[in-house]
Structure 1
Amino acid sequence: MNFTLIDWLILSFYLAFSVFIGVKAKRYVEDLEAYFVAGRRVKVALGSATLIATEIGIVTFMYLGQIGYLTGFSCFVLGIIGAFAFFVIGKTGFVVSKLRKLKVITIPEFYEMRYSKGVRLFGGMILFLGGVLNMGVFLKFDGLFLAEVMGFGLERDVLFLIMTIMLLIVISYTVLGGMFSVVITDFMQFVILSFGMFITTFFILKNVNLFDVANAVVKYYGEEGINPVLNPRFGWKFLLWMLIASVTTSGLWQPVTSKSLSSEDEVVGRRIFTYTGLTLAGRYMIPMFWGVCALAAFGPNVDSQIAMPRLIAKVVPNGFLGLLVAGMLAESMSTYSAYLLAWSSVTTRDIIQPIFRGKLDENSSIMLTRIIAVLIGLYLLIFGLFYEIPTTAFQYIAVTGAMYTSGAFGCVAGGLYWKKANSTGAYIALILGAIGPLAFLVLSLFKDFVPKSMHFLLDVNLSGFISFILAGIGMVAGSFLTNKINPPKNIEFEK
């Protein structure tokens, strides 16, 4: 057992305080906009902190640490690409500013405005499928981290207990307080984790020599550990995919976009992305660096999923360890709450409500969203325990995200910036965007039976990259070929 009494006291106090603050936020939930987008009152500082908190939980540290352990310094390019994407969105307002002007709550709402109710329903279903698959591994990786760092062991019953407790804590305040709970607790959690990252890096550097880290990368990976183009896990396909996906995900991934939609206006929304982008490279590279340090400390033969948390358990002293785990757990709560709220709100507003004969009132919509959030949480528990991902966690999360964002990019960018985009093109874009990632996920379950001639479908980087190409072709070709029989439905923006 790595945790002592002081660690448990720090962790217990902080989690109890977070839940208390989150539940108290329920008093501010007056209507749908308050529940889903915090009444659109979020300012730059709070919006930036909550977006940073949403996008870096324990699972983020786990998959970034894993890819650092497996690829050395070559993975650092991902932090640069991610920061560039946020900076582009922040400076240009690409997609997000126009969506904020339209005052939508979810991305599929735009589909109905620009195309049709059917596109909204279909797009909502793909968003939900990609979203819950993407989130499916979060709870398991969080459980692995906590079990290793705390010293409980990795038996399935231990993982189940840790995952269940985490789920109960997150649901208790997300379901009650909605987006107000998320943004109120996120700022506090952002501050705590920033301090935790600093002290962890200090103790790692105190125990692992930088010269040994550099030598380990060269010894075990050679030039592939430095040059991402030569690394077999990356290459040009992967880098191009990440460049496109980072921009589209930044603007169209519902948990991220919701922060811009919650802002006071489109100018504040853009600044939130700009300021978040300034920190993103560091937030990626620090846990990646921890993973590279684990390579130097343990060599290349440790389970890549637990190498980084094992290093943390070894070098961070008690007291500081409790504070770090509290900060990481708090950030994970931010991630879960934002994601649960995003996927449950999409289900309620974009899948159930369009097919519901009588319009749901606000109270019914909020109640239904809460029920769906609980059901998604139960799915995370079961899926996380039994599903084994077919690639690295980073690439799994990227490819499940591409299942939705590739088609959404064609639909939203086309709908906002191209007058000829129509509902036929939108349907084709959504279908073709989902085919590549879905084929990879399904075929990877039966890879021993896949003919050699089809093995290219098992290349996660190719599946992710080609999904954006196919979606773009689908939107353009589908709209051009059917423009006369299916005229586009344009929308007007307020000046």
Structure 2
Amino acid sequence: MLLAYFVLLVVIGVQTIRKVKSEEDFAVAGNRIVWPVFFGSLAASFLGGGASLGMAGKSFSDGYVYMFAFFGYAVSFLLVGLFVAPRLKRYAGAHTVGDVMDEHYGRAGRLLTGVLSILLCAGILGAQALAIGTVVNATLDLPQRPSIAVGMAVVVLYSSFGGAWAVIQTDMLQFVFLGVFIPVTLILALGETGGPSGLVESIPDAHLTFGGSYSAAAFVGLFVAFLLGETLVPPYAQRTFSTPDSKHARRGFALTGIFAFLFYFVAATLGLVALALYPDIEPDQAIPTLVIKLVPAGLVGLVVAALLAVVMSTASSYLNAAAVVFVKDVYQPLVRGGTGVRRKLALERGLTLLVGGLATLFALVVPSIVDALIYAYSFWAPTVVIPLLIALLFGSRSKPAALSAIIAGAAATLIWLVWFQDRTGLDPIVVGAAVNLVAFVTAHAVTRNRGGRRNRPRTAV
């Protein structure tokens, strides 16, 4: 079943290559993705290893409190869908977040956003690569490192062949897999615990409370990190640009947020069931262990394919986005003269291979799926998100404010991560985002006042 699934993904990528005739086809699927497809593709893209294996693992060790913190993602998707995503469709011809940043903050804003976007994509790809290895190792008892390499090779193949067209088609297939077989696994697992009441009696009371064992600072820090960590990251912005108009963008994004609440609850409850039935396993092995132990033999291949679908759909989205971002936001601004269509496509496909390799290496050194995600968010939430939202919502064009905010937020995050996180327990993303906002507002006020004084007419004495 797994072999057939992998072959099907590659076939989709190969046959889709005929549709990719321009950079627009590779980047945003020709701007023809209607909202039901947008919803399925976006949901499959962001419900990756962190939202499934990572969520179950953290709920296994910490309880539902982690799910409540993780709801920051769903809240973010709802807010972006209602108020922000429709505004992205105002930027005709845009493919990346860098296009928006360039419009408001100039070429320097585009370049900084491009570099940070690639770092973010590589980090999140590392988390997905680690999740692929975790699933294969736990279900097929194969070594983790070769499993990571093989799984990422399949993702790289179909992503580099078909670009956004292939990613969106495989996303829809993967969305069906995860939407059917992950809930089926929960139903089978709950039956082993004696139903919901049996589950409640089998796990510690603290695992069912809102705050669990977290301090208020730790909970708020995690919630803010998840609220901002993937706000308008390159793949999600790219999906929004692929819709025909703002109506499709709003509906798809908002529905994804609503679906996220349900999916997080399912994944978290699977973690609690694993704790009740198999308390001695490693947390990240919660869902794979339930699949192997409880799912009937005839369905195991399909459920494992569903787990891999969750992970691989996210990985392919970030791979495609990283390649598009490099060409549009880093390569083109630094190269004089135009770049032909064939050269752009060749660069984007080559970058897909390179970033996939770097993400695989990253997956081999990070301790857990969630740790990989948090590291990756440090490149985005405290740097690009706030200037981007201010540009979209308020039309700001203050270049000094944006650049100051990005640099100050990155510096504050790094300093807090190295010297203060262990002492305070406060997530550096929260500190970095706060410094980012203060720096933007301060620089904007200073430059506006200076501009006002320079332009003020002299009065007669």
**Under a length normalisation based on structure 1, what TM-score does the superposition of the two structures give?**
0.84
Contact map agreement 2:124 2:318 (CA 8 A) in 1: no
Aligned-pair CA distance for 1:246: 4.8
Contact map agreement 1:51 1:256 (CA 8 A) in 2: yes
**Alpha-carbon distance change, 131 to 317 in structure 1, aligned in 2, over 3 angstroms:** same
Take 1:280 and 1:60, find their aligned partners in 2: how far apart are those partners?
A: 9
1:208 aligns with 2:193: yes
Counterpart of 2:252 in structure 1 is 272
Q: Paired residue for 2:431, among 466, 489, 494?
A: 466
Aligned-pair CA distance for 1:16: 1.5
Aligned-pair CA distance for 1:79: 5.3
**Alpha-carbon distance change, 248 to 266 in structure 1, aligned in 2, over 3 angstroms:** farther
1:326 aligns with 2:316: no
The one-letter code sitting in structure 2 at the alignment partner of 1:49 is G
Contact map agreement 2:64 2:212 (CA 8 A) in 1: no
**Matches for 1:239-258 after TM superposition, within 5 Å:** 239-241=219-221, 243-249=223-229, 251-258=231-238
Counterpart of 1:405 in structure 2 is 381
SS, match of residue 406 in structure 1: coil
Aligned-pair CA distance for 1:477: 0.7
**Alpha-carbon distance change, 136 to 18 in structure 1, aligned in 2, over 3 angstroms:** closer
1:229 aligns with 2:229: no
Counterpart of 1:123 in structure 2 is 113
Q: Report how many aligned residue pairs link the two structures.
A: 450
Bigger drift between 287-296 and 130-139 goes to 130-139
**Matches for 1:327-476 after TM superposition, within 5 Å:** 327-385=306-364, 387-389=365-367, 393-394=369-370, 396-418=372-394, 421-439=397-415, 443=418, 454-456=419-421, 461-476=426-441
Q: Paired residue for 1:179, among 139, 160, 164?
A: 164
Counterpart of 2:458 in structure 1 is none
Counterpart of 2:203 in structure 1 is 217
Take 1:88 and 1:249, find their aligned partners in 2: how far apart are those partners?
A: 14
Contact map agreement 1:69 1:292 (CA 8 A) in 2: yes
The one-letter code sitting in structure 1 at the alignment partner of 2:401 is G
The one-letter code sitting in structure 2 at the alignment partner of 1:465 is V
The one-letter code sitting in structure 2 at the alignment partner of 1:334 is S
The one-letter code sitting in structure 1 at the alignment partner of 2:20 is V
SS, match of residue 37 in structure 1: helix
SS, match of residue 203 in structure 2: helix
Bigger drift between 241-250 and 189-198 goes to 241-250
**Alpha-carbon distance change, 319 to 147 in structure 1, aligned in 2, over 3 angstroms:** same
Aligned-pair CA distance for 1:338: 0.6
Contact map agreement 2:23 2:341 (CA 8 A) in 1: yes
Take 1:419 and 1:46, find their aligned partners in 2: how far apart are those partners?
A: 30
Take 1:459 and 1:295, find their aligned partners in 2: how far apart are those partners?
A: 29
RMSD: 2.3
Counterpart of 2:456 in structure 1 is none
Take 1:408 and 1:460, find their aligned partners in 2: how far apart are those partners?
A: 24
Take 2:88 and 2:212, find their aligned partners in 1: how far apart are those partners?
A: 39
Counterpart of 1:135 in structure 2 is 125
Counterpart of 1:32 in structure 2 is 23
1:98 aligns with 2:78: no
Counterpart of 2:139 in structure 1 is 149
1:481 aligns with 2:461: no
Counterpart of 2:68 in structure 1 is 77
Q: Please list every run of 5 or more consecutive structure 2 residues that lacks an aligned counterpart in the other structure.
A: 453-461
Counterpart of 1:493 in structure 2 is none
Q: Paired residue for 1:41, among 9, 26, 32?
A: 32
Q: Paired residue for 1:169, among 154, 164, 167?
A: 154
Take 1:419 and 1:276, find their aligned partners in 2: how far apart are those partners?
A: 26
**Alpha-carbon distance change, 457 to 76 in structure 1, aligned in 2, over 3 angstroms:** closer
Contact map agreement 1:72 1:217 (CA 8 A) in 2: no
Contact map agreement 1:22 1:177 (CA 8 A) in 2: yes
Aligned-pair CA distance for 1:423: 1.1
Q: Please list every run of 5 or more consecutive structure 1 residues that lacks an aligned counterpart in the other structure.
A: 1-9, 153-157, 444-453, 488-495
Aligned-pair CA distance for 1:215: 3.0
